[in-house]
Amino acid sequence: MQHAELTSEAQQGTEMHMRILVIEDDREAASWLVKGLRESGHIVDLAAEGLQGLTMALEGVHDVCIVDRMLPLLDGLSIIQKMRSADLKTPVLILSALSDVDERVKGLRAGGDDYLAKPYAFSELLARVEGLGSRKLLDPKDAKLKALDLEIDLMTRTVTRGGKPIILQPREFKLLEYLVRNAGHIVTRTMLLENVWDYHFDPQTNVIDVHVSRLRGKLDKGFAEPLLQTVRGAGYMIRAR
């Protein structure tokens, strides 16, 4: 493949510095998580039980909360419900050993923004956390999305790059929209499968890769600068700048 491959160390964590609250009672898991997030350039606060976690979350100083479902004193879903009823909109990523679709739905219904089943790859978690952190930067009412010289008009559902129109299939449009909304952040294959196709199972093949490479073909054709990058071992990224 001809496109640029960036190592995860070079790419991740360089874009932004977030303040992240981790509420996790498993000491070892928490220490690896905190270490990884700090190495990625973020500021991390840790709470080892639910009540302390809720108190810290209610300070409202965090960009993203990572909440384990099973916690002493107060469980994860109750923390999220209390945060939401206090009108606190901090994005929350739920971590859980329960991987069922039902459990995911329960978590999202309680007010969680994303759900990740244990065990997870750290790169997957980081991509999701950074995706959640950047979400509030974009105005959802904005009718136009931009990345470099790419422009997406959500009203007319047209895409242009450098003023040249690009014809996309509906699914390709959805895929591009998701990538551009997360521009500057890594998007994993699982995130694409969940958000673009709404599938919450593992297809066991590189089925997503073909869709991305087709999209890339349409986007980068006739342009010297590649827009859609593959981040090895992690996923894909649309360059923001």
Site string for other proteins, 45-84 (x = CB under 8 A): ----------------------------------------
Total residues at interface with other proteins (CB under 8 A): 20
Query: Which of residues 156 and 205 has its CB atom nearest to other proteins in the complex?
Result: 205
Q: Does 197 bind other proteins (CB under 8 A)?
A: yes
Binding to other proteins, residues 1-40 (CB under 8 A): none
Cα angle: 20, vertex 234, 221; to 5 degrees: 120
- Look at residues 62, 152, 59 and name the one whose alpha carbon lies nearest to residue 113: 62
SS3 139: coil
Q: Does 205 bind other proteins (CB under 8 A)?
A: yes
Say how far apart CA 197 and CA 56 lie, in whole Å. 35
Spell out the residues 6+ positions from residue 89 whose beta carbon is closer than 8 angstroms to its own.
Answer: 136
Asked if 230 and 5 touch (Cβ cutoff 8 Å), the reply is yes
Q: Does 121 bind other proteins (CB under 8 A)?
A: yes
What separation, in Å, do the N-terminal and C-terminal C-alpha atoms of the chain show? Answer: 23
41: tokens are 């350039």
Q: Does 119 bind other proteins (CB under 8 A)?
A: yes
From 9, 39, 59, 100, residue interacting with other proteins (rule: CB under 8 A): 100
Pick the piece of the chain touching other proteins (CB under 8 A) from 8-16, 76-84, 97-105, 152-160.
97-105
Q: Does 207 bind other proteins (CB under 8 A)?
A: yes
| Exposed / middle / buried, residue 58 (Cβ in 10 Å: 0-12, 13-18, 19+) | middle
Which helix or strand (DSSP H or E) is residue 101 part of? helix 101-109
Pick the piece of the chain touching other proteins (CB under 8 A) from 40-48, 76-84, 127-135, 210-218.
210-218
Q: Does 204 bind other proteins (CB under 8 A)?
A: yes
Binding-site ranges for other proteins (CB under 8 A): 99-102, 119, 121, 171, 197, 199-207, 210-211, 214
